[in-house]
Structure formats: structure tokens, C-alpha cells
Amino acid sequence: MTATKDDIITLPHADLRQRSQKVGIVDDSIKQLIEDMEAATISWEASRDHEVGVALAAVQIDQLKRVVVLRNDFDNKDDHTFTAFINPVITKYEGDIVEDYEGCLSVKNLYGKVKRSSKVRVKFMDIEGNERRLTAEGFLARIFQHEIDHTNGILFVDHIKDDPNAFYRLADEGGLIKLDYEKDVLSSDIYDN
């Protein structure tokens, strides 16, 4: 059975606040998990008019494993290929601190302006079980920080929860609209945990 958007858990689901377990070996169950994560991301995206699913952490389909999938070309909605990163860890934060918009498949109807490092070095295991390293910059660095946070039970809203000016929602035509912090954010599911 292939995973769908309905398998993606959202706040206030308690497992999103849990630390994921390290993967020991890349066996068939991990390969199946990766396939399910990719399928769920594509299914979610197919239900959205103005959003692209660029990445997913295993916890988002309620599997507490340190596995992340990233879309190979997040500028092309027709490219449904991903790369898996197993046990990813940021070994160094570099560059400038940049504020930009983030959304999350597990945080319904909220976007936020989040500060992140513009460059990170990442250590991970590939699907063949080989230890690898890479340096990511710009949007890719932001994605790694967002997804690796998930493996540690952290969501993007946790970085901005005390900033009344950081919250937005997606308008029907695709633009972002600033939210009223008191009315729209404080009463939302992000504060249930």
C-alpha cells in the first residue's frame, strides 16, 4: 500500500514533538519508508493549487526514524524524483542569518518568516548505506535545517512562536497574507503542545 496525503500527520499530533530514532541499517523497510514518504509528498502536492512539496521527514508520516527526502528539482512540479538522506546531521552552520518564508505539510494553513543560516554542512547516510557529506546554500540550506529540525521534534513555528509579525497564511490566489497574531495564531494548534 502506498502512502497518501492522508498519512501526513499535522499539529497538534504529539509525535511531531518527538525525537526520531537513528537508522542502523538501510534494509527493505527503510527503502519502503522512503517510497511512502515520496508518495505522500506527491499526493499532498496534487491536492494544492499553489504549493510544491519540496521535502518530508519520516515523522511527518508518523514514523519516528531519522529519514528525510528532498525533491531533486523543487522548481519543477512535474519532477517527482527525490533523494533520501538517512540520519542527517548539520555539522556546521555558516554564512549569514537570513529571514525567509517557510511552510510545512504538518502545519496547516500557516506560513512563517524564519531566520536560518544561509549555508550548512550536512553529514548523512545515503540509500546504499554510505556515509556522505555535502554543503548546502540558500534555499537548500533552509530545507535541510527545517527537515533536520523535524527529526529532533522541532517545527518551524517553534522558532517564531513569540514573534507576532512572523505569521502568514496562503491566499486563494497564491500570495501570502499577514495574520493577526492574537486572533489567528494564539488560538491555533501550534500552542496545544
Tell the burial category of 153 from Cβ atoms under 10 Å away from its Cβ (0-12, 13-18, 19+).
middle
What are φ and ψ of residue 47, in 5° steps?
Answer: -90, 0
| CA pseudo-torsion sign 183, 8, 146, 12 | positive
Closest to 16 (Cα-Cα) out of 60, 66, 78, 75 = 60
Q: Is residue 147 among the annotated active site residues? A: yes
Residue 164: asked if its preceding bond is cis (omega within 30°), the reply is: no
Cα Rg of the chain (Å, integer): 16
Annotated active-site residue in 35, 38, 51, 147: 147
Active site members: 147
